[in-house]
Structure 1
Amino acid sequence: VNSLKGVSSRKVKQQKFKSVDSKLWGDSLWSPSYFAGSCGGASLEVVKKYINEQETPK
């Protein structure tokens, strides 16, 4: 996760997207933390259905 966040942050910053600049965590694209979880062997379709049925945060 750390490598993915570092590489993607550098790539996005190289593009200098104005729309991204206003959403940075200070000078960082990502927060310093991350979450890893499991879905207990559920199929991809079940996981997609679960995600799609979640409410949007307000």
Structure 2
Amino acid sequence: MFTDEMPHRCEAIMVEVGDNFGAVLVEFNGEHDHAHLLVHHPPKVALSVLFNSLKDVSARLLRKEFGPHVRQYLWGGHLWSPSYFAASCGGAPLSIIKEYIETQKRPD
């Protein structure tokens, strides 16, 4: 679904949303149909609330800005799946996690 331009715009949107929660988007990358995020967030912020907002705002703005292209990839009217996977990386060096995310292939 992602064109060359879309991951960059999606990342910018998610940085802004994260800022509103006091969260920092440390790394962002994705493949043609999903995204990987490394997020440092305050413990007082529930992950479900943060990720719902990241998905809601990015979906709304990407649909608005890339409408005709995005519409052909919607699932029942939705851009993102309602699920997400989150894992703590407190024991792993952040450089290893960042490297993993950086090596994900962005669409050509």
Higher RCO (Cα < 8 Å, 6 or more apart): 2
Deviations 1:11-52 (A, max 9, x none): 111113433222221210111111111123322211133453
RMSD between superposed Cα atoms in Å: 2.1
Name the CA distance, whole Å, in 1 between partners of 2:90 and 2:72. Answer: 37
Name 1:33's counterpart in structure 2: 83
Q: How does 1:13-32 map to 2 (within 5 A)?
A: 13-32=63-82
Runs ≥4 residues deviating over 6 A: none
TM-score, with length taken from structure 2: 0.40
How many residue pairs are counted as aligned between the two chains? 53
Q: Secondary structure at the match of 2:81?
A: coil
Based on CA coordinates, which of the two structures has the bigger radius of gyration?
1
What is the percentage of aligned positions where both structures have the same residue? 55
Unaligned runs of 5+ in 1: none
